[in-house]
Structure 1
């Protein structure tokens, strides 16, 4: 592609700075070219020459791409702008900020969280192997032995369940939904009681999954989420077999 055609592309859309237009152009090349993390997009001088822009525009484009988690700049010999590994936290942080600012109801968050994690439970209960069971039980042991004071210090059992189910889309949304939904945990007067309650509920869900009983795991999850919605952390009633 000639410099003239590159410059023409960078003049669209109107209203954006030259650096923003260059960032857009490079982002499209990353997507259409299938460039993998570590691919050299170009040095600052090469970007200026290839796209017919000045140093200021090239640096602005690099900052924009880095903020979006698409690229990383490396200084020194052999340096330049490289395609970076996608950072899930950039997406989840943005989603949390958006949902918080939009005034979404917590009841809606719980409803969606329940629906999505139930899908993961059904899939995992049908496919879990010894390694997966060991990972979940190890996580439970970390949860029990870690003596956390707030829920944010706990390993995320829900996220591990979804991760083991093998669906990265569910993993992304469960991370956002669980973290947003559980933000009130820190307000309880007795964190030790809450941590013990959480561990018991997580253990019920995990053991049902390991046993391959998707229906029981989903039932435990529904009761767990309903209790969190109501901020009722008392032990569930013991049912006698009839």
Structure 2
């Protein structure tokens, strides 16, 4: 009884969606890599026991997801694709758009993960990578004078964290941190969390990023972890206060 109820509660998937999942499983089971050519349409129809229309729709679904690439002409056909990190984050962002994430939700994760990323990267980055992070940290030597400048500084600050995430050896850790930076950037813009300009937030954030790059150059994992932990705690406190101020202004209006 319970099993049947659970089954009935699950959303029913269309046949093309089910076949698309079967094709993905087929690819995984054969450990096919990017660029591997998939069977032609006739072989797909026979393999999965469905109509031509269903196969075509399933392939369109997979192509929209970036999992396959179709090329025409000589040597054409369908090939295994590779979903970029940018595309994957965009698809995931579409899901979280409806989940009403809070600053507390995001910083709960950031406070756990980003200090560990900083510690992992200490002493492992190349001079070129460190110089790139240094340039991002020092991009705005003066505090913002307008809301537009403040928005630009917020976006630049998060670009530092996004770039740092791309250097992670642990690709899952880097992906999650980069995704959180993206979500926070979008939240900052659409909630206008950059108004009014916050000089204390700029000064504290800039100093932390500069100090972090120095710790990474020194290869001091403990120091890098501590700086990032302090950076996350301070940023959360100030961003929450900024959001509360905006809400008070909105209610007053």
Query: Secondary structure of the residue that 1:231 maps to in structure 2?
Result: helix
Q: In the TM superposition, what is the alpha-carbon distance from 1:41 to its structure 2 partner?
A: 0.8
> Is structure 2 residue 213 aligned with structure 1 residue 210?
no
Q: Does 1:180 align with 2:187?
A: no
- Report the Cα distance in structure 1 between the residues aligned to 2:18 and 2:186, rounded to whole angstroms: 38
Alignment RMSD (CA, Å): 3.2
Which TM-score applies when normalising by structure 2? Answer: 0.70
The aligned counterpart of 1:235 is none
Name the CA distance, whole Å, in 2 between partners of 1:193 and 1:173. 29
Provide the secondary structure at the position in 2 that maps to 1:94.
helix
Moved more, 115-124 or 46-55: 46-55
SS in 2 for 1:101: coil
Query: Which protein has greater RCO, CA pairs closer than 8 Å, 6+ apart?
Result: 2
Q: CA deviation at 1:107?
A: 0.7
1:223 corresponds to which residue? 234
Name the structure 2 match of 1:47.
44
Q: Which shows bigger deviation, 184-193 or 164-173?
A: 184-193
Helix, strand or coil at the partner of 2:38 = strand
Alignment partner, residue 4 of structure 1 = none
> Quick check: 1:136 aligned with 2:147?
no
Q: Does 1:105 align with 2:108?
A: no
Offset, 1:153: 6.2
TM-score, L = length of structure 1: 0.73
What is the aligned counterpart of 2:119 among 113, 119, 122? 122
1:192-212 deviation line (CA, Å, top 9, x unaligned): 969965545432332333332
Distance 1:33 1:125 in 2: 38
SS at match of 1:73: strand
Q: Secondary structure at the match of 2:122?
A: helix
What secondary structure sits across from 1:82 in the alignment? strand
Cα drift, residue 155 of structure 1 = 6.8
Tell me, yes or no, if the aligned pair for 1:118 and 1:218 is still in contact at 8 Å.
yes
